[in-house]
Every structure is written in structure tokens, then in C-alpha cells.
Amino acid sequence: MIGAAELADMKADAWLLNVSRGGIVDQPALAAAVGARRIGGAYLDVTDPEPLPAHSELWVMPNVIITPHSSWLSPDSGSVPPSCLPTTCAAGARVNPCETWWIPMPDTEFSVDTFRQELRAWLGRELPAIWGSPTRPVRPGEDDDMAMRRRFDRALYAAGWAGLSWPAAYGGRDAPIDCERILAEEATEAGAPERFNRVGLGIVAPAIIGFGSAAHKDRYLRPILNSDEIWCQGFSEPNAGSDLASLSTRATLVDGRWRITGQKVWTTLSAVADFCLLLARTGEPGSAHRGITAFIVPMHQPGVTVRPIRQINDSTEFSEVFFDNAETASDPVIGVVDRGWQLAMSVLAYERSTNLLNRQVRLDMTLRALRRAAGRYPRQRAGTAHRRTR
């Protein structure tokens, strides 16, 4: 991701704007550097002629609609004058800015029906490219499947279908929650894989949005949304499942840095995760829910050992994870030390609701398909088939 400093260096001759679906809005430094402002919740405005010399260029990323016009549009007018009806630019299009550029985001007049149609068309077009053949391989290997699901996550992000109900300030679309259900329905209907970074998207991101600092949001949310960084959730332990408050993995301050020692279990995606949202005890043993803190722990380090749990279907999607004096990230505490229980309860609410929405829709549609298939066969009295085979 380009930073404000790099952008400042580029000022003389080029601009690279990744404003797809509000991408720039959550980065105040970047926005300030390009003179971008959010107006009426729907527009990015790059109006300052000073930082855009005549020979500069805008490199347009996917899903950005760009409209040149020279008149001022009131943020509150609520309508776009006919003179500046948007024109869609192809990804990578290079345009010379004239005196004023408006970059309306594509969601200005949001319609759920249009959303569904566009999404369905996109899935029909893009899915074969994602799995490299006209139809999805019936039984991809585990690594292939993960790679395919990651490609799907990234394609969704690039096309603006990721983070639908997230606040626009964090790269989302501020769309109604119904759109998440429509995405799940259309993706299932099209045979798309389940989201790869689902722990990051559905569990960790809400924790960071709800309890993290501005620096946490700036550092971690975007790579979750585009699946550049995969997360796992280190809550459950061998002796702390339903009774989560009895967890004993311990965090200790050593020379000003928190270190983690203990064991987690059933940790989904931990074998491939870059970070773990981990609950550890920072209070006295027995302090129960009053002595727990939520940490960010990098997974790729000597202090972390992942031992996959092989299931009956040969999948190893979750593992045991052992922490031996493991290092935490810089600025590792999300929320307040000893107050991680509040975060945990909030996160579990997300886990059981919006995060499960996708799976619930999938299961429901699969069950209905099974019922339809079963309905195509004549009913048999129980035991009939068995007797006939004797």
C-alpha cells in the first residue's frame, strides 16, 4: 500500500489513487496528501489544483467512476447535475486531470436489486477465471482449495464486493446487512467457495473496529479485507472451551514487551495464519473474566508451534497451537489490559451472527436442494428398499 510519504515524492508528476470503494477515505494522511475529501458520504474530491500540476496523471483503479467538471457541487445537493454524469474508466486508465476532478463512488444510488444483478453477472463472469476452468474442480486438494478460496477473496475485494456492511471509513461499502446475505446466496448458487479469511473478516475485524486504536485500524483492517493477511482466533484451550473464562494461557511483561506461553486448540486456519487474536491471562490465576486481555500475536515466529488436527475427511483446517514465550506484535493489546472479556463477548456475538450468516445461508440452500432432489424420486415405505435387496 502506498503511503503518504511516497505519494508526496510522486507529487511532481504522477498520482496513484486506489479509491476503489472508499479506499482512500480511511487513510487521513493519504487523503490530506492528495487533497481528497469525503463529501455527502458518496464522493471523493480531488479539487485542489495546486498538488495536481497540468502534466500529472490519475491512474484509475477498478470500480472507480471518474467525472471531470468544473462547477462546484454542493455536498448537500443530493443530486449530480446532468453535465457531470459519470463515465466509467477501465482499470489502469490514465487520464490527465483538468481543472477539477470528481470521483463519485459507485454506490451513490444504491439499489438492492441492482446489487444482486451486478453481483450475479460478476460471479458468472469471474468464477471460471478464479478456479482456472469453466467449472470448479469437484475435489480440489486442500492446498488447491485454500489457494482458490484466497483468489476468490482477493477477486471479491478488487471488484468491491468485500466488506459490504463495513463502514466506508474502513474500506467497506456501508451497504445494508441484507447485501451480505445476498452475497452469500449468489455465491452459493454460483458454486463459489467459502471465504478464506473468514475468521479475519467475521471475527477479528469487528474486534478491531470496536476495540482497537486508530493505529490498529490503519494497520490491520485493509490487509484483512483483501486477504493479504490471514488471521486465526486463539480463544479455546484444552481446559477452557465453553468455560472460556477459565483459560490459562499467560501473558507476561518482559522488558516492556508482552510474551505469551500456553496452548490453544481448535484454532481454525492457524496453520496458514499470519496473526492470531489471542486471549491470555494477565490477572492473577483465578481472576476469571476479570483478568483476561486480547493480544495480537504474529504466527510466523519460533515461539509458536502449530500441530494440525486431522479430521475424518482428511482436512486439517484447525490445529493445536503452542506458545512458548512467543512475542506479541508491537502495540499488541486490543482494548484494555485485564478487560479483554468485554471484547471476547462482543466478538462471540459476531461469530454467532454475521459471521455465521454465510454458512447458514449455504446450509439452508444445500438442504433445500437436497429436498428438491429427494422429491424427484417416488416415496418408498420405510424398509421396502432393504427387503428388496434380501
Give me the active site residues, please. 351
> Minimum distance from CB of 59 to ligand FAD (Å)?
39
Question: Given the complex with ligand FAD, which of 23 and 234 has the nearer CB atom?
Answer: 234
> Minimum distance from CB of 242 to ligand FAD (Å)?
3
Positions in 181-200 near ligand FAD (CB under 6 A): 199
Number of shown-chain residues binding ligand FAD (CB under 6 A)? 12
Q: Which of 318, 323, 341, 350 binds ligand FAD (CB under 6 A)?
A: 318
For residue 306, list its beta bridge partners.
321
Residue nearest to ligand FAD (CB): 241
Question: Given the complex with ligand FAD, which of 242 and 313 has the nearer CB atom?
Answer: 242
- Which residue in this structure is represented by grid cell 481448535? 266
Question: Judged by CB under 6 A, which stretch of 29-37, 66-74, 226-234, 252-260 contacts ligand FAD?
Answer: 226-234
Q: Is the dihedral of CA 189, 190, 191, 196 positive or negative?
A: negative
Give the contact letters, 234-273, x = binds to ligand FAD (CB under 6 A), - = no. xxx----xx-----------------------xxx-----
Rounded CA-CA distance 275/131 in Å is 27
> Minimum distance from CB of 306 to ligand FAD (Å)?
12
Question: Given the complex with ligand FAD, which of 73 and 251 has the nearer CB atom?
Answer: 251
Question: Given the complex with ligand FAD, which of 263 and 328 has the nearer CB atom?
Answer: 263
Beta strands in the chain (DSSP E): 15-17, 36-39, 43-46, 58-60, 65-68, 87-88, 94-95, 101-104, 231-234, 250-254, 257-268, 275-281, 292-298, 304-308, 318-327, 333-334
- Least Cα distance to 268 among 167, 381, 146 occurs for 146
Rounded CA-CA distance 268/299 in Å is 13
Rounded CA-CA distance 263/248 in Å is 8
Q: Which residue ranges make up the site for ligand FAD (CB under 6 A)? A: 199, 232-236, 241-242, 266-268, 318
